[in-house]
Structure 1
């Protein structure tokens, strides 16, 4: 009797929890209401079967409970009952499958006027490619992929010259217009998902999969990888911004094209030498850094990373947090560089400086650090040399005391919290794996040992 009551309470409690629970789907922001309807039908069918089976089991426990003088009847076959079970089961399965097949027919038939957007996944970053004014995407191939050409653009294809390349986790799409996402992965299996849009599709290396949707509500929505793709899977996040058409056009006009990136003029090291005089006061004439002045080593660091950090200081993405004492000192120094050309010039000069070795200042458990660095190595490289394609700077041979401070800042929310610093946001998530200063010391000790 107790077991029968338990089954009844479980069945009724599950139904009440479903209807009274505050947790349910996020509000939809696209045309895919049919997906919600299909899931709701599945809930109704499986819910009805669950309640019916639970109540039948409870009834059977009561009806056929052991009683004095009671005897069970052996009935190995019952064609009538089997027939009913076959029909009811077939109807239930069809009720769940038919709507899904109907919706899938729409999912695989993107409208002819849908705007094509290529989404490129790589541990643990998102990047995007949009057609230019010709409305056509140029061809790509893995054999063309380099640090300078992370999308693998075919330089001989004229259709790709005006393609818009976005090496950022943030994608903008226009409100009310169909969008077809072409999905490809450069390394392992990923999965592109936006809960509010109701799109989710695997990204398979060597294949191009796709989904389409029409945004119906302006706003910013999280992009997640919903396929376990490695130790940094949880940090693979992005943003989808749905703009009004006018705002989208204005945003698109400001984005770089493949042609503009290829013709990017390198900085002038001779001009940069003069500008560097201000930097040298703290960072040293040779960019070797100065721990007494809290100025890290610059020589040997990737030019792309130095440019980005100077731009972040100028834009207020770094050096504005109250607890970032030394970042606040750097911000006004970066402000002395009036524009991107000046930044490129000073970085070009730093690139000419000799990569002077710096003595390690930290000690730790190298073996423990090696295990923890496995996560870092996926982006920064096995030897900590840095990888431009994953937006990860060089670590080996740089100022370990400075890296220790930055890891603490990331971990404590002092750095990486600015909404326009996606790579800082990602690093803040990864730094959370370092529980205390000892863990930080261990990782840096291992990097110094490489």
Structure 2
């Protein structure tokens, strides 16, 4: 009886914590509301299963509590029960995965008018590269990285001669303009994320990954590395400043 009550209290306290907790999503500042919707669908499905399973467990603990005058039956297989569990579990998994597949299809489908910015990660610093007047980023190579060429830009590629190099950890972006973020790492595995934009992606040494989003809210947002990348991982932070087109052009000209 005590165990059943404890299980009920666990369910109630978990629900109260979920709905009353002050720790929730940061206000969204990009076009990716679909990601929030997908997460909410997952919460509702897993939450319903959590409540149902624990209420059933509490009922079973109470209903079949010890009674010296009652004898337990051994029933190792129940095809009907197993069939229902398989069907219901499959429906729940499909309901959770399907919205995410649609979101992922959009996540990898970059708009044709998206501008490009390259994010370079290294222990433990962010740096950025923007295309110059030609609108094209120049070629890079790991072998070309040195003290005088920290981005590893190919000196024989004319498209790289006017690239805008940003060695600070602050990136400015214009509001309401889609941007494709190209990601590469100089050393180990990193992860680029801005919680308010609902985007995150690994930076994998030796290859280039990407993500895209459209900033929708003016402000200053923190860039985090969400991949343990060494002893000073916690210091690998930066900022994205979303501003008007006019302010962005002033910053870019500087």
Pairwise same-fold verdict (TM > 0.5):
yes
Tell me the SS of whatever aligns to 1:212. strand
In structure 1, distance between residues paired with 2:76 and 2:230 = 51
1:342 maps to none
Which portions of structure 1, spanning 4 or more consecutive aligned residues, are displaced by more than 3 angstroms?
A: none
In structure 1, distance between residues paired with 2:46 and 2:64 = 26
In the alignment, structure 2 segments of 5+ residues that lack a partner are none
In structure 2, distance between residues paired with 1:18 and 1:227 = 26
Q: Does 1:106 align with 2:106?
A: yes
Measured against aligned partners, the alpha-carbon deviations of 1:255-284 in whole angstroms (never above 9, x if no partner) come to xxxxxxxxxxxxxxxxxxxxxxxxxxxxxx
1:75-90 alignment, distance < 5 Å: 75-90=75-90
Tell me the SS of whatever aligns to 2:52. helix
In the alignment, structure 1 segments of 5+ residues that lack a partner are 255-450
Tell me the SS of whatever aligns to 2:116. strand
TM-score (norm: length of structure 2)? 0.98
2:243 maps to 243
Higher helix share: 1
Q: Does 1:97 align with 2:97?
A: yes
In structure 2, distance between residues paired with 1:57 and 1:49 = 12
In structure 2, distance between residues paired with 1:141 and 1:86 = 50
In structure 2, distance between residues paired with 1:82 and 1:236 = 49
1:369 maps to none
2:45 maps to 45
Measured against aligned partners, the alpha-carbon deviations of 1:173-222 in whole angstroms (never above 9, x if no partner) come to 11000000000000000000100011110000001000000000010000
1:122 maps to 122
Higher strand share: 2
Tell me the SS of whatever aligns to 2:197. coil
State the structure with more CA Rg: 1
Aligned length: 254
2:197 maps to 197
1:173-322 alignment, distance < 5 Å: 173-254=173-254
Aligned alpha-carbon RMSD (Å):
0.8
Tell me the SS of whatever aligns to 1:196. helix
Specify which structure has the bigger relative contact order, considering alpha-carbon pairs within 8 angstroms and separated by 6 or more residues: 2
In structure 1, distance between residues paired with 2:78 and 2:233 = 52
1:64 maps to 64
TM-score (norm: length of structure 1)? 0.56
In structure 2, distance between residues paired with 1:99 and 1:191 = 24
